[in-house]
Structure formats: structure tokens, C-alpha cells
Amino acid sequence: MPPSPPNTVDRLGYWGNQTSTLDWCEYNYEVSIYIAEFWNTLSNLFMIVPPLWAIYLGIRQQIGTRLLLCYLSLLVVGIGSWLFHMTLLYEMQLMDELPMVWGTLASSYTLYDIDADESKVNVKLALGLVLYGTIISVVYVTINIPEFHQAAYGLLVAVSFLYSFNLARKKYFPMRWFLLSICMYAVGFAVWNIDNVFCSNLRTVRSGLPGFFAPLTQLHAWWHFFAGYGSYISILYLSQARLKALKRHGHVKVGCIGLYVDVGREKVATE
């Protein structure tokens, strides 16, 4: 894709006028006429590649539908976010934001019902989560206020971390993975806010940096890395907890492309 010359203002690119209700601190179509926010788009690979790898391993290791759905949900968020930042179209914005809610609900179902048999469905829990997701989705699409979506999503994340902390205390998985996940999410949230509040300052600093260093100041892209990989780690420790509940071996390990869950097919012997 042909690069565009450097600029200090947004320009019109391949996808036309912005229709999304949000636009971030990265100048539009600065790197390529085909990608509205180049670095904010590319950084979504941290939410695409890890869950793809986990799904591949999970199918081979037969980890169960629930956990596969959790990884798939993160993958969908990554793809939706890629499309949103690439186009800045409202339809693509919804493909980013709504899966964030529904993906967290999918993980919450397994988190809140960690010991359940794979073949059993917790109807009350499922209906409650679906009702919450439906209300949030309908209200958000109706009022188009990003802060509403952010609050609804933030509430889900906060409750999920509380449940996760409780599981870590009960030794379902090592506390260090929970702490790593929540710290990454906290750092991501911090840089997300800095990017929003101090955008003009960041743009001034960025304009004075050599080309190689300028992308490092794209803090929304860093949000994708920290929050995306933090979410991935949370699914990893959820997988370890779920496998432990089903009396199967499963441990988070470091592999050639990052963290993954090493799963044994045999069940843990019980006394």
C-alpha cells in the first residue's frame, strides 16, 4: 500500500468521510490512504494472533466449547476493532464495541459457572447475561453515547476481575497471572485516558520526534496491546481454572509466540 506524505491534519482517504461517533488522537490517513488510523489498526494484531493460536491449540487439546468461545470472542473483538480503526465508519464502530460487551459476557458465563459439566447449561445465568447484553446493545444503538458503552463494559470487566480474584484465592490458578492481567489492563486504561485528555500535547511531541519514534506515542495503539493481551491472559487463567474444575491438567506456560495453556488429555487422579 502506498504511503502518504507526513501531515499535521486529518485528510480524506479511501473509506470516505468519517461516520463513527469517535475519532482518536492518531491523524487520519497519515500513513496510508487505505487505513484511516494505521497504528491503531495494526495494534489489533495483539487481539487477533494470540486467540487464533489458542483456538488452534484448544481444538487439538479438546478444551471444550466454552473455552473456545471465550477465545473466539476476543478474536471477534480484535477483528471488529481492526475494521473500525481502518475505516472510521459507524457500522464498523459497532462491530468493535458491541463484541466487547458480548465477548465479556461469554467469558463471564464460564467464569461464574466454573465447575459445571460441559454438557449442562445454566439457563438462568445464560438468560441473565443475554438480557444484560441485549439491553446494553439496544440502549447504546438508540442513544449513541460512547460513555454509556464504556460504563457498561467497565462494569462487566470490574465484576469479572472480582470473580477472578476469588478463584485465584481458591488456588484455581496462580495469583501471578491474575495480577499480570489486571496490571496490564490498568496500564492500558491509563494510556487510553492520557491519549484522550492530552491529545494536543501528544501531537506536538510526536511532530518533533524522528519518524521511527513517533509511532511509540500512539497511546491508543498501546491500549490495544495492554488491554488486548491482558484480556487474553485472563482467558488463559480462566482456562486453567476451568480445566482444574474438570480435573484435567492445564498450566499457563511461555511458548515461542507468547503465553499459552499446556493441556493434558488425562484427568487428574482423585483420592
List binding-site positions: 23-24, 26, 28, 37, 85, 220, 224
For the annotated binding site for Zn(2+), the residues are 85, 220, 224
Strand partners, 251: 262
> Helix, strand, or coil here: 30?
coil
Looking at residue 217, the DSSP 8-state letter turns out to be G
* Residue tagged 487422579 (cell numbers): 269
> Helix, strand, or coil here: 67?
helix
Chain Cα centroid distance, residue 225: 9
**Positive or negative: CA dihedral 181, 159, 63, 247:** positive
> Helix, strand, or coil here: 264?
strand
CA dist 264 and 63 (Å) reads 10
For the chain, the C-alpha Rg in angstroms (whole number) is: 20
For the annotated binding site for Ca(2+), the residues are 23-24, 26, 28, 37
- Concatenating the DSSP letter of every residue in 89-140 gives -HHHHHHHHHHHHHHHHHHHHHHHTTTS-TT---HHHHHHHHHHHHHHHHHH
CA dist 100 and 47 (Å) reads 12
CA dist 213 and 219 (Å) reads 13
